[in-house]
Structure 1
Amino acid sequence: GRIDQIRLLKSDVATVEGETSVGVPGEAPSVSVFSALLVLDNGRWTIHSIEESAAPNPVQVGEALRGLEWLVGRWVDETEATRVDTTVRWSSNGAFLIRSFAVRNDDNVTQQGTQIIGWDPRSREIRSWSFNSDGSFGDGVWSKNGDDWLIRSSQTLADGRAATGTYVLTRVDENAMQLKLIGHEIEGEPQPASPTVKVVRATEPAKNETPSTSSK
């Protein structure tokens, strides 16, 4: 068994969450999750109550990301002065989605970055980790909300400041999606609202990408 979390509710009251397993020779172990309420009595912690239930079935590697498989491919969003080329692909073992992007201003690359999207079996949620060429980095937690994906993001900027916000990702159709940042704050200070960005699936080779002429 294992203890996953201990949370102190008061100085003399705490909750403990974890997992237990009971094995019988020749059979797969029976796994359960538990949540216990502990109280401090005369200097000793004692169990006041405990709840136990069957552990949820583990999600197979990559299966949790199937709802995001439509992201695989090349995408572009472009304004008068700026173009963002994005490529999304599966990792070699199919456990992660890897998103790479390049921001261009007048054909000059001004920023690049990589985002890794995967399933966290401990917290049982989709998470992402981002790393940018300016030294900033961050992580996000993904959740489905109707037709939208919400990405609760926390980021450390290149100058050390902390930024938070929620990205709303909406699939318009097979070849288009929309992205909007809401609730954006830097060091707790609200930032101006960001416009919705429309991203379309690219039909031409990405910059610096040469079409292959060899047969497979």
Structure 2
Amino acid sequence: GRIDQIRLIKSDVAAVEGETSVGAPGESPSVSVFSALLVLDNGRWTIHSIEESAAPNPVQVGEALRGLEWLVGRWVDETEATRVDTTVRWSSNGAFLIRSFAVRKDDNVTQQGTQIIGWDPRSREIRSWSFNSDGSFGDGVWSKNGDDWLIRSSQTLADGRAATGTYVLTRVDENAMQLKLIGHEIEGEPQPASPTVKVVRATEPAKNETPSTSSK
């Protein structure tokens, strides 16, 4: 078993979360998650209460990403200065979502990047890893919050500085979504708030893409 989190509620009360595994030799272990409340009594921590339940586990690889399947396709967000073309597709084995993007200014590509979104069976959460053409890279942890997806992001910039922030991804409808970065910091210094970006599903061919004229 393992302890994932210890949270001090009061000086003499703590909440502990983790998982346990039980199984006979040669058999697959049964994994459960637990939440326990501990109290400090005469200098020793004792269990006051504990709750245990079966650990959530996707039936098959990629199943945990089904809630993000609507991202698959081509998207575009455009301002007076720049245009961002984004393509999201499933990996060949269906275990990951792969997001590729290109930033254009005056029809010239100024930046490109790739993001891989997958399920982490160890931490039991959706995670992403991003790599950009300027040498920057980062990772994120995804969680559902009502109708929004929150992406807690940590990034190493091209100049070596560390950046953090949370992206709020909201699905407006089948053909539109909104993205906003909040709590953005670089080397611990708060950055100005960024405006909400509206992204729409693309209907025209991507830049440098020629429509097919062949019959099917």
Q: 1:152 to 1:18 in 2, by over 3 A?
A: closer
- State the partner residue of 1:151: 151
Deviation at 1:184, TM superposition (A): 0.4
Distance 1:148 1:17 in 2: 25
Query: Distance between the aligned counterparts of 1:67 and 1:184, measured in 2?
Result: 26
CA distance change for structure 1 residues 163 and 25 in 2, over 3 Å: closer, same or farther? closer
Number of equivalences: 216
Does the 8 Å CA contact 1:59/1:121 hold for their aligned counterparts? Answer: no
Could you tell me the TM-score, scaled by structure 2's length?
0.80
What 5-or-longer segments of structure 1 have no aligned partner? none
The whole-number CA distance in structure 2 between the counterparts of 1:180 and 1:39 is 41
Deviations along 1:2-36, whole A, 9 cap, x unmatched? 89899999999999987665555997654456799
Aligned partners of 2:41 and 2:196: how far apart in 1? Answer: 56
**In terms of mean alpha carbon deviation, does 204-213 or 80-89 score higher?**
204-213
Structure-2 change in CA distance of 1:161 and 1:22 (3 Å): closer
Instruction: Give the whole-Å Cα distance in 1 for the aligned partners of 2:158 and 2:179.
Output: 23
Decide whether aligned partners of structure 1 residues 181 and 11 sit closer, same or farther in structure 2, where only a CA change above 3 A counts.
closer
For the residue of structure 1 that corresponds to 2:166, the secondary structure is strand
Which region of structure 1 is more displaced relative to structure 2, 5-14 or 71-80? 5-14
Structure 1 residue 168 displacement after superposition: 0.5
Deviation at 1:214, TM superposition (A): 3.6
More divergent stretch after superposition (81-90 vs 18-27): 18-27
Residues 29 and 149 of structure 1: is their aligned pair in 2 closer, same or farther, counting only changes over 3 Å? closer
Between the aligned partners of 2:100 and 2:145, the Cα distance in structure 1 is: 25
TM-score by length of 1: 0.80
Taking a change above 3 Å as real, the CA distance of residues 116 and 39 of structure 1, as seen in their structure-2 partners, is: same
Query: Within 1, Cα distance between the matches of 2:12 and 2:72?
Result: 51
Shift of 1:165: 0.4
Alignment check: 8 A CA contact 1:73 1:87 kept = yes
> Would you say the 8 A contact 2:57–2:124 is kept in 1?
no
- Segments of structure 2 that go 5 or more residues without pairing to the other structure are none
Shift of 1:56: 3.8
Cα 1:30/1:119, change in 2 over 3 Å: closer
